């Protein structure tokens, strides 16, 4: 009998193989959870809100007997001196685009999961809802730069690619440039889309980029936060480090006045953000790491369906 000696794989190769297997396992787990959620809860909610207008504008043509008077384009009619009507074609598909903050502050969470993990699961649920509705899905991830841009496509395999990118993103930047992300969205996405902007919104005022993006698209803000970002426990002197800048300070959390000022500051910031979104007509979903993200999502869809 001939004995063939095989060289055992190096530790580096084994480690890389195991890492790939873990990636596949995590993607599969999140797919199973998300598809179950979509099947049981979200599919009808999503379709009722994002079913499209049914028809979209195509061109104008000269009026002919029998045309609807309501379809007359009065601007063109006034310019030409002859009646013209708007022509519409059936709207066949929609684009759902995720603009997701992957800055260093996403690697924080005092509950079961980090903010970044919650953001990835939210996007997975919404992405599988979109696929079930035969919509296209795209992605921008950003920090203080654009990290990844995945053009919109249909299909389960494409959604799995989007989820992998969110779960295992290795951003080069640490900070947050929300204005850059929104400017990039407006430049690359020419046709109107449903855009979910997922972030903790720990960033300076970005009124103008939000306003421009919301005019071009159906913008929905998803704010992911953690309770320790708004309330401090009385735990003595604690060293705090800004995940994005690396700046560190010591805070005496046993001082009631310190805790109160911290809470007041964050409450004002949250109220200001809510008012900004309301003034711009942007739907705003608040989700926290210690709770269930499904309930706020379903509540958003049902409230929006009522408005329609």
CB 125 within 8 A of CB 39: no
DSSP H/E element including 287: strand 283-288
Alpha-carbon span 41 to 36, nearest angstrom: 8
> pLDDT: is 91 or 235 the higher one?
235
Per-residue model confidence (pLDDT) at position 240: 76
Query: What value does the mean pLDDT take over residues 17-32?
Result: 62
> CATH second-level architecture of 96-307?
3-Layer(aba) Sandwich (3.40)
Ranges 87-91, 144-148, 161-165, 226-230: which has the least confidence: 87-91
Per-residue pLDDT at 17 exceeds 50: yes
Alpha-carbon span 169 to 100, nearest angstrom: 11
Alpha-carbon span 143 to 224, nearest angstrom: 15
Share of the chain above pLDDT 90, in %: 31
pLDDT in tens, 104-143: 888 887 777 889 888 988 998 888 888 888 889 999 999 9
Please report where in the chains the tokens 């649920």 appear, as a residue.
125
| Average pLDDT of the chain, as a whole number | 82
Per-residue pLDDT at 251 exceeds 70: yes
Comparing CA positions, the residue from 250, 200, 271, 258 lying closest to residue 232 is: 258
Q: Where do the H-state alpha helices sit in 38-155? A: 43-49, 74-80, 115-132
The β-bridge partners of 251 are 238
pLDDT band at 308 (very low <50, low <70, confident <90, very high): low
Label residue 40 exposed, middle or buried (CB < 10 Å: 0-12, 13-18, 19+).
exposed
The β-bridge partners of 61 are 85
Token readout for 125 is 């649920």
Per-residue pLDDT at 166 exceeds 80: yes
CB 123 within 8 A of CB 199: no
Per-residue model confidence (pLDDT) at position 121: 87
Comparing CA positions, the residue from 149, 146, 127 lying closest to residue 196 is: 127
> pLDDT: is 66 or 308 the higher one?
66
For the chain, the structural domain boundaries read 55-90, 96-307
């Amino acid at each position: 009998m001939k004995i063939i000696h095989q060289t055992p794989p190096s530790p580096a190769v084994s480690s890389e193989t195991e890492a790939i297997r873990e990636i596949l396992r995590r993607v599969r787990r999140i797919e199973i959870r998300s598809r179950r959620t979509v099947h049981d809860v979200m599919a009808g909610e999503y379709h009722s809100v994002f079913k499209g207008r049914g028809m979209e504008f195509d061109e104008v043509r000269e009026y002919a007997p029998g045309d609807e008077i309501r379809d007359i384009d009065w601007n063109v009619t006034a310019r030409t001196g002859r009646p013209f009507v708007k022509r519409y074609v059936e709207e066949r598909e929609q684009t759902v685009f995720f603009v997701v903050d992957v800055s260093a502050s996403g690697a924080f969470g005092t509950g079961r999961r980090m903010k970044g993990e919650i953001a990835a699961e939210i996007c997975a649920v919404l992405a599988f809802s979109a696929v079930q509705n035969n919509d296209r899905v795209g992605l921008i991830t950003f920090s203080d730069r654009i990290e990844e841009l995945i053009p919109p496509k249909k299909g389960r395999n494409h959604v799995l690619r989007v989820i992998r990118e969110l779960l295992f993103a290795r951003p080069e930047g640490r900070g947050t440039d929300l204005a850059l992300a929104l400017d990039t969205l407006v430049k690359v996405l020419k046709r109107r889309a449903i855009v979910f902007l997922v972030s903790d919104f720990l960033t300076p005022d970005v009124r103008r980029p939000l306003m421009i993006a919301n005019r071009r698209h159906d913008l929905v803000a998803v704010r992911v936060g953690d309770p320790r970002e708004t309330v401090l426990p009385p735990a003595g002197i604690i060293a705090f480090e800004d995940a994005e800048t690396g700046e560190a300070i010591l805070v005496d959390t046993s001082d009631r006045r310190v805790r109160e000022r911290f809470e007041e500051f964050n409450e004002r910031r949250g109220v200001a953000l809510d008012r900004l979104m309301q003034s711009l007509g942007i739907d705003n979903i608040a989700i926290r790491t210690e709770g269930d993200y499904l309930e706020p999502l379903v509540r958003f869809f049902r409230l929006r369906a009522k408005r329609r």
